[in-house]
Amino acid sequence: MGGSTWDYFTPYQQDASAALAAAHERAFSEGDYFWLYDGRWGLHERPRPSTIEELWEDEGVRHSFTHSILDIFSVLDEGEQPEVCSARPLTPGEILRVLGSSRPTRATFESRYERAYGDLDSLIEDRGHACYTVLYDEHRQPSEIVFWGVTGD
């Protein structure tokens, strides 16, 4: 099947792990993830699980992943080596280089992200990895955290 690119915005929280958990809850509750048993893949249809834990108990999900933020289990601190199934923060230099400002807005991120295979995609180490950064409102106050990555198999 191959990997899928994705991005998720969540309200700003000082704790990036808490922001990731909030993004997980929203993606799961909205069904915004790949479900192998939706009838399109030659497998018997099954209802989606009722919890994230139940989702990860499924062997098919553990093999193909969800092609979503649900595949990212942890956030790293600046300077930590990228790990599979983790999101790393952009460095101040990367933020300035790829987003053109030390306090980028959502509009700036979206316009830069829409460019296929642009600088933002090049920051992803490999399939199974993600990045994140804080986005700011028009008053230059933190407003959101955006996570983006490539996951799935």
67 closest CA partner among 33, 36, 102, 104 = 33
Q: What's residue 1's pLDDT?
A: 54
Q: What's residue 119's pLDDT?
A: 67
Give yes or no for a contact between 132 and 10, defined as CB atoms under 8 angstroms apart.
no
pTM: 0.91
Q: How far is residue 42's CA from residue 51's CA, in Å, rounded to a whole number? A: 24
Q: Regarding predicted confidence, which is higher, 94 or 123?
A: 94
Q: What's residue 130's pLDDT?
A: 95
- Average pLDDT score, the chain: 91
Alpha-carbon distances, residue 53 vs 12, 24, 26, 61, 62 (angstroms): 25, 12, 15, 11, 11
pLDDT digits (tens, 9 = 90+) for 75-105: 999 989 888 999 999 999 999 999 999 999 9
pLDDT digits (tens, 9 = 90+) for 133-147: 999 999 999 999 999
Q: What's residue 43's pLDDT?
A: 81
* pLDDT band at 20; cut points 50, 70, 90: very high
List of residues 6+ apart from 79 with CB closer than 8 A? none
Helices 106-113 and 92-99, axial angle in degrees (round to 10): 70
